[in-house]
């Protein structure tokens, strides 16, 4: 048996061992691995998730028993200090020697630290290992602010970590835009806007001249343009540097720009010595993504087993979420060739950017960029890689993945079997389809048996689509499970919560799920819990919510918040108007009358929110739920009391509706309108539900909306009296809440609902399912249990503490800057 030594125990090293075991190689090789870190291989791709649970074991690539079970000698916390090719030995830091027949360098890379004076000061960290994250977490307890050097993938993740630790966060980038290697200027601008709206400041074109410390602690960064940034902590995430020093000392050829030079068999300049992963330089390139490293591992396993498989230049397409913002690039993303057409869709208001690079003849997709909505990534990537013919109008590809967007008519099921769906594990569509046809019928099992989706996870939606499509082609019922952690649809989750009276996410996942949850299931369950029990949103499930729900206010540019009190039907007394004016003046808030007949107050600091709410509550106001997936407003005209055309009291009806449905949590936001005559001044037909007065009562319209793709509502029933109209609305809303997918507007829900108008009428009016009494009772329960969330926070000292900007001091966040705009303040322009 040959001695095989692997230097390094990262993700690629683990994958090499896994593939060697699968190939039967462990019967031919006695494997010894040396890892410098104190723990076995873990998932660096999802390193930032450590901050959501602080449990390193949840990032482990495999159970601790993996190595022992496979007869692999794993030596952790052990550094190899010397490789001697003459004697074929390696020497460790404990001065122990080991002999090898074959040697693999899987040393990975280290964080690149630019030659900036002051990087040795206390309070300067790199963002690379779990130990780094532990040190950052501990040190952050003494800080108010943290700056990140580097605006690339890991730099933005580091900035999110700094923000999540309760500090004000700044990203300092040398280039004139974020992610300059992956995104063009338009995409970067949209990404920057989204990130800054989440409270992270971005400083571009900044060359750091020095990091200044007072005593032994960081206090400031000085830039080459003579500006400075006050900060308590600096995190460096400016790229990687291949760990090639050991190989270089052994006389192995190393590229002048870094990396152990390898050929297409992963061979170095020395016979029997190989390199894989981020330490390897192939074709003058070092690859910082996990997928090429996994391909290298597979090539080397084939080589050692006596078979030939060449490594080819990898596709560098990628899809990920940065601080909650979807970002993807594929193919030749930054193509500027004159022979290509460039199509761009950009909407800064919605945070969307989509760019397609198309061949001059309009037949081939060459590459592109997606920011905001990345659902179309899988299909667009395959279209590029396989050279598929584009539809007649390539514009149909734009917004192809959006719930409100276009539809190219293309499907992953139309792809050939050789299409690679999971680039990390090189899993093809054919392998996935075969696994399903052989009996694998759920996502978790499909991932286990094919390993597809177990790398970066970006391909999981595509794997799910192929799973569903294959099951459907076999004539089997397709079960729409919400994610890999729950083998249930949203409707089934709702039923479980109701029947078993489950009140928290932890209770649900312990009894009916696996793992710890994800960004898909956590907010979905939080929404269902709120819809079902109408509990105070911060009571049990605050950690599941996004920023807006956690702080009961919409976060705005610059990191401040908006305060939107409820003003039913826009009706307000002079006394209440005066209170709003006094509060706005006291806290220096920007004020604006909205299209929903309310007054928005912008620019509130997080720590001031409870005090502002307290003053408004004392004057009789409530939360307007502008931050929630719930009822926003019921718009009204002035009605028959004032208007000579009005035939019903639209103001009274609008107030009644808003008072009834306020706080109702739903799959998406809800808007309503009540018009006193057919002139439709309240725009009721552009709302999720609306009433238009007739001489005999009300016409009830449902499932309309404005926004990017406006939809007219359709008539559900005519000439209804007040109580009947409300009864039908109760039934309709609860039926929608029961059956809609997450983040689906009523218009989209209705479009996708099998049976259309006739079916909805049968359910809501004719009670064809026999559930109307239940729907009405559920709505009444929500109405009866309403509480103003602002008031609950104001009266609870522990909840108020959640609004402190820093965990270790009562000081205010003094990094927010404003400018004067037409006599009011606004965030300082970027």
How high is the pLDDT of residue 403?
Answer: 38
How high is the pLDDT of residue 306?
Answer: 92
Q: Is the pLDDT of residue 541 over 70?
A: no
Domains held by the chain: number: 4
**Collapsed DSSP state (helix, strand, coil) of residue 644:** coil
Q: Is the pLDDT of residue 544 over 80?
A: no
How high is the pLDDT of residue 407?
Answer: 42
Q: Is the pLDDT of residue 708 over 70?
A: no
How high is the pLDDT of residue 545?
Answer: 58
Helix 722-739 and helix 650-661, axial crossing angle in degrees, nearest 10: 40
The sign of the CA dihedral 484, 486, 487, 493 is negative
Alpha carbons 464 and 478: distance in angstroms, whole number: 11
Residues 140-156 have pLDDT tens digits of: 998 999 999 999 888 88
Beta partners for residue 701, in sequence order:
690, 715
Residue from 501, 483, 533 nearest 786 by CA: 533
pTM of the model: 0.64
pLDDT band at 598 (very low <50, low <70, confident <90, very high): very high
Residues 228-275 have pLDDT tens digits of: 999 999 999 988 899 999 999 999 999 999 999 999 999 999 999 999
The sign of the CA dihedral 294, 295, 299, 302 is positive
DSSP symbols for 25-64:
GGGTEEEEEEESSSS--B-STTGGGHHHH--GGGGBSS-T
Residue 347 near residue 325, CB atoms below 8 Å: no
Give the E-state strand segments of 269-417 in sequence order. Answer: 273-275, 280-282, 318-322, 325-331, 340-347, 352-359, 365-372
CA dihedral 82, 87, 89, 94 (to 10 degrees): -60
Do 777 and 642 share a structural domain? yes
Do 255 and 185 share a structural domain? no
How high is the pLDDT of residue 521?
Answer: 84
Do 781 and 645 share a structural domain? yes
How high is the pLDDT of residue 378?
Answer: 82
Residue from 426, 462, 410 nearest 315 by CA: 426
CA 173 to chain centre: 22
Domain that holds residue 529: 490-545
Q: What is the mean pLDDT of residues 645-659?
A: 95
Given 238, 258, 290, the domain boundary residue is 238
The span from the first CA to the last CA of the chain, in angstroms, equals 63
Residue 456 lies in a domain: no
Q: Is the pLDDT of residue 540 over 70?
A: no
Residue 648 lies in a domain: yes
Alpha carbons 747 and 628: distance in angstroms, whole number: 18
Do 747 and 685 share a structural domain? yes
Residues 263-297 have pLDDT tens digits of: 999 999 999 999 999 999 999 999 988 889 999 99
Do 658 and 722 share a structural domain? yes
Do 754 and 692 share a structural domain? yes
CATH classification at residue 256: 3.50.50.60
Do 234 and 246 share a structural domain? no
How high is the pLDDT of residue 574?
Answer: 94
Residue 159 lies in a domain: yes
Radius of gyration over alpha carbons of the chain, in Å?
29
Per cent of the chain over pLDDT 90 is: 53
172: part of which helix (H) or strand (E)? strand 168-172
Do 635 and 758 share a structural domain? yes
How high is the pLDDT of residue 804?
Answer: 74
Given 195, 222, 238, the domain boundary residue is 238
Range picked from 188-202, 400-414, 662-676 for highest mean pLDDT: 662-676
Alpha carbons 470 and 475: distance in angstroms, whole number: 9
How high is the pLDDT of residue 815?
Answer: 62
Residue 650 lies in a domain: yes
Given 238, 260, 282, the domain boundary residue is 238
Alpha carbons 598 and 616: distance in angstroms, whole number: 14
Do 663 and 771 share a structural domain? yes
Residue 741 near residue 629, CB atoms below 8 Å: no
CATH classification at residue 727: 3.30.413.10
Compute CA distances 532 → 409, 487, 510, 553, whole Å.
37, 20, 19, 22
Residue 637 lies in a domain: yes
Residue 51 lies in a domain: yes
Residues 775-823 have pLDDT tens digits of: 999 999 999 999 898 998 999 888 888 787 665 556 666 666 788 888 8
Do 12 and 62 share a structural domain? yes
Rounded to 5 degrees, φ, ψ at 304 are -70, -25
Do 676 and 707 share a structural domain? yes
Residue 172 lies in a domain: yes
How high is the pLDDT of residue 402?
Answer: 41
19: part of which helix (H) or strand (E)? helix 11-22
Do 289 and 229 share a structural domain? no
Residue 604 near residue 578, CB atoms below 8 Å: no
Q: What is the mean pLDDT of residues 700-717?
A: 86
How high is the pLDDT of residue 721?
Answer: 96
């Amino acid at each position: 048996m040959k001695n095989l030594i692997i230097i390094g125990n990262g993700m690629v090293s683990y994958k090499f061992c896994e593939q060697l075991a699968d190939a039967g190689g462990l019967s031919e090789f006695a494997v010894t691995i040396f890892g410098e870190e104190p723990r076995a291989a873990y998932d660096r791709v999802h390193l930032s998730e450590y901050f959501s649970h602080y449990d390193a074991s949840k990032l482990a690539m495999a159970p601790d028993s993996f190595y022992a079970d496979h007869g692999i000698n794993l030596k952790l916390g052990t550094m190899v200090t010397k490789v001697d090719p003459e004697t074929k030995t390696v020497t460790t830091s404990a001065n122990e020697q080991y002999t090898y027949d074959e040697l693999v360098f899987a040393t990975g890379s280290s964080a690149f630290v630019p030659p900036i004076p002051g990087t040795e000061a206390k309070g300067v960290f790199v963002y690379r290992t779990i130990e780094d994250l532990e040190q950052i977490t501990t040190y952050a307890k003494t800080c108010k602010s943290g700056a990140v050097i580097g605006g690339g993938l890991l730099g933005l993740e580091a900035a999110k970590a700094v923000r999540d630790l309760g500090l004000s966060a700044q990203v300092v980038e040398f280039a004139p835009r974020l992610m300059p290697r992956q995104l063009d200027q338009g995409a970067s601008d949209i990404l920057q806007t989204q990130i800054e709206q989440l409270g992270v400041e971005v400083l571009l074109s900044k060359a750091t001249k020095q990091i200044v410390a007072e005593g032994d602690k960081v206090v400031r960064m000085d830039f080459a343009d003579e500006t400075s940034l006050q900060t308590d902590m600096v995190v460096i995430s400016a790229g990687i540097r291949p760990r090639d020093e050991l190989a270089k000392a052994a006389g192995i050829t190393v590229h002048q720009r870094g990396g152990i030079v390898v050929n297409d068999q992963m061979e170095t300049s020395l016979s029997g010595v190989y390199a894989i992963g981020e330490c390897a330089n192939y074709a003058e390139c070092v690859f910082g993504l996990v997928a090429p490293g996994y391909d290298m591992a597979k090539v080397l396993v084939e080589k050692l087993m006596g078979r030939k498989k060449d490594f080819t230049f990898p596709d560098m397409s990628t899809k990920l979420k940065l601080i909650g913002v979807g970002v993807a690039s594929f193919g030749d993303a930054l193509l500027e060739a004159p022979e290509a057409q460039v199509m761009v869709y950009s909407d800064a208001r919605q945070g969307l950017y989509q760019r397609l690079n198309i061949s001059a003849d309009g037949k081939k997709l060459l590459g592109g960029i997606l920011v905001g909505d990345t659902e179309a990534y899988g299909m667009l990537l395959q279209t590029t890689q396989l050279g598929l013919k584009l539809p007649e109008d390539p514009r149909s590809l734009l917004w192809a993945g959006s719930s409100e967007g276009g539809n190219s008519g293309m499907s992953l099921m139309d792809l050939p079997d050789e299409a690679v769906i999971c680039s990390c594990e090189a899993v093809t569509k054919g392998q996935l389809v075969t696994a399903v046809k052989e009996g694998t019928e759920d996502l978790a099992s499909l991932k286990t048996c094919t390993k597809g989706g177990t790398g970066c996870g970006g391909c999981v939606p595509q794997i799910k689509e192929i799973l569903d499509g294959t099951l459907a082609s076999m004539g089997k019922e397709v079960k729409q499970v919400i994610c890999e952690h729950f083998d249930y649809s949203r409707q089934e989750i709702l039923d479980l919560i109701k029947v078993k009276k489950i009140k928290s996410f932890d209770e649900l996942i312990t009894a009916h799920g696996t793992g710890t949850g994800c960004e898909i299931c956590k907010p979905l369950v939080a929404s269902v819990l709120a819809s079902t029990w109408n509990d105070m949103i911060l009571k049990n499930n605050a950690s599941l919510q996004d920023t807006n729900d956690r702080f009961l206010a919409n976060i705005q540019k610059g990191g401040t918040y908006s305060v939107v009190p409820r003003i039913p039907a826009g009706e307000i007394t002079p006394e209440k108007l005066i209170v709003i004016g006094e509060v706005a003046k006291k806290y220096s808030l920007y004020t604006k009358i909205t299209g929903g007949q309310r007054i928005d107050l912008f620019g509130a600091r997080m720590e001031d929110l409870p005090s502002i709410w307290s003053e408004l509550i004392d004057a009789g106001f409530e939360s307007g739920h502008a931050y929630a997936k719930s009822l926003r407003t019921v718009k009204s005209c002035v009605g028959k009391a004032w208007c000579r055309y009005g035939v019903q009291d639209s103001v009274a009806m609008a107030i009644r509706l808003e008072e009834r449905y306020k706080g109702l949590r739903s799959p998406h936001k809800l808007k309503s309108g009540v018009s006193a005559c057919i002139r439709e001044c309240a725009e009721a037909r552009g709302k999720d539900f609306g009433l238009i007065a007739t001489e005999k009562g009300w016409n009830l319209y449902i499932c309309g909306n404005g926004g990017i793709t406006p939809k007219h509502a359709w008539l559900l029933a005519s000439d209804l009296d007040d109580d009947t109209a409300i009864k039908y609305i109760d039934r309709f809303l609860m039926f929608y809440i029961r059956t809609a997918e997450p983040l689906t507007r009523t218009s989209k829900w209705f479009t996708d609902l099998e049976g259309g108008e006739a079916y909805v009428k049968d359910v809501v009016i004719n009670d064809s399912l026999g559930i109307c009494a239940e729907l009405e009772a559920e709505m009444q329960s929500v109405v009866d249990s309403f509480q103003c969330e602002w008031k609950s926070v104001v009266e609870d000292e522990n909840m108020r503490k959640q609004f402190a900007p820093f965990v270790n001091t009562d000081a205010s966040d003094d990094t927010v800057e404003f400018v004067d705009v037409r006599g009011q303040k606004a965030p300082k322009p970027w």
